[in-house]
């Protein structure tokens, strides 16, 4: 096959996008008429995509209103969700009705940290151990080197993990309103160049990354120590309201929670909830987030307690939620519009977005759990979730 057309001076133009679609059509016979219909100027895309040829359109709906009682997100929100899965928006809206009538979801961001984890390999374990001691003693100088590359990133700590003669340094940063992966890579590289210039005794090898930061992969270290935002959403649901809206009881939900805990444990799952990824992915697509970060962000924990009066306490904890309100895809036209619906576009808004995502996840967990225990799960998908072209 021929290479796709390319003109560095005019790569991001409607004409070049059309030329690429024509080349693909000529090679494959596929009709790309829909992918060529879009409303924005391709000139806004440098830094977001290469070889631009058109758009893949994902249907968008608004769930809600969602009531959030957060430290950063307060009030009612219409939540943009981009998905091709029928029943999804309806289910989240049902959970949002339940929690709204119960007074709203309380949300708390309890940690904020983005990582890069370079590895230093030494001649033996003693050199590696001594290097770790040296890093602790020189942390201020390492921090100063890292922060020469960024205005909004702050190196808050360096965790150390050793195995044999190898030592991983897990650099942990706050990154302002950006997700921050590129930011922390650049800052950590600068810090490591300073470290290498000090010629650590016995050093054999260095690499800026060796899979310990688990970028776009789940890991237990992220669940324990946070990657991105660690957010908790919680609510206590009155027994009468559960019966009225969800046609079930706190007792039934609590019993199902214990069974689901055991199922997740038996399966070795990274999440004892039902479907964190559904709400997170739909919001990520709508709001210009890096969708690959769902790999980390969808891990999590849910917890339920049955109160003596039949009320039901429920919480969802997301330990590695990676979101941004500035940079990346957040400034693209439709994605920016969706963030603006939430009041979450631009600087100073990322914690607010994290709280809204967590509250949305909790609503989806409650709605699906209630559908399962009240035997509405299959019937609702039959009614809303089957596309019969």
Active site residues: 85, 290, 381
Q: Are 354 and 211 in contact (CB under 8 A)?
A: no
At residue 367, the 3 state secondary structure works out as helix
DSSP-assigned letter for residue 246: I
Give the pair of three-digit tokens for residue 317: 């904890």
How far separated are the first and last CA of the chain, in Å rounded?
Answer: 33
Q: Are 322 and 182 in contact (CB under 8 A)?
A: no
CA neighbor of 70 nearest in space, from 286, 278, 357, 367: 357
Q: Cα 29–33–36 angle (5° rounding)? A: 120
Alpha-carbon distances of 167 from 143, 162, 193, 195, 222, rounded to whole Å? 18, 4, 16, 14, 18
Instruction: Count CB-CB contacts under 10 A for residue 347.
Output: 11
For residue 294, give every residue at least 6 positions away whose Cβ sits within 8 Å of its Cβ, in sequence order, or none.
277, 280, 281, 284
Compute the distance between CA of residue 192 and CA of residue 130 in angstroms, rounded to an integer: 17
Give the pair of three-digit tokens for residue 68: 């959030």
Total residues belonging to the chain: 389
């Amino acid at each position: 096959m021929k290479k796709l057309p390319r003109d560095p001076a005019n790569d991001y133009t409607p004409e070049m996008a059309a030329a690429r679609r024509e080349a693909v059509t000529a090679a494959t016979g596929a009709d790309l008429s829909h992918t060529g219909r879009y409303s924005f100027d391709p000139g806004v895309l440098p830094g977001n995509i290469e070889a631009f040829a058109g758009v893949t359109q994902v249907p968008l709906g608004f769930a809600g209103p969602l009531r959030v009682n957060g430290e950063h997100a307060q009030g009612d929100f219409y939540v943009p969700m981009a998905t091709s899965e029928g029943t999804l928006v309806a289910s989240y809206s049902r959970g949002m009705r339940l929690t709204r009538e119960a007074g709203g979801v309380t949300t708390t961001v309890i940690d904020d940290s983005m990582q890069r984890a370079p590895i230093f390999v030494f001649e033996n374990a003693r050199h590696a151990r001594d290097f770790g001691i040296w890093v602790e003693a020189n942390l201020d100088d390492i921090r100063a080197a890292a922060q020469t590359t960024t205005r909004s990133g702050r190196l808050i700590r360096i965790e150390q993990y050793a195995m044999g003669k190898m030592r991983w340094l897990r650099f942990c940063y706050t990154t302002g309103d950006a997700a921050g992966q590129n930011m922390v890579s650049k800052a950590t590289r600068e810090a490591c160049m300073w470290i290498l210039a000090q010629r650590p005794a016995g050093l054999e090898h260095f690499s800026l990354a060796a899979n310990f930061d688990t970028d776009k992969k789940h890991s237990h270290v992220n669940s324990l120590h946070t990657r991105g935002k660690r957010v908790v959403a919680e609510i206590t649901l009155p027994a009468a309201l559960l019966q009225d809206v969800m046609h079930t009881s706190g007792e039934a939900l609590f019993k199902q929670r214990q069974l689901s805990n055991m199922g997740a444990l038996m399966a070795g799952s990274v999440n004892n909830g039902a479907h964190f990824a559904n709400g997170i992915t739909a919001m990520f697509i709508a709001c210009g987030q890096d969708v690959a970060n769902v790999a980390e962000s969808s891990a999590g924990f849910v917890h339920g307690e049955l109160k003596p009066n039949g009320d039901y306490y429920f919480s969802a904890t997301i330990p590695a939620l990676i979101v941004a309100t500035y940079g990346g895809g957040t400034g693209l036209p439709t994605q920016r519009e969706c963030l603006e619906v939430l009041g979450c576009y631009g600087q100073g808004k990322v914690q607010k977005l994290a709280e809204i995502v967590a509250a949305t996840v909790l609503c989806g967990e409650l709605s699906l759990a209630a559908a399962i225990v009240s035997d509405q799960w299959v019937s609702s998908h039959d009614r809303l979730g089957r596309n019969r072209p």
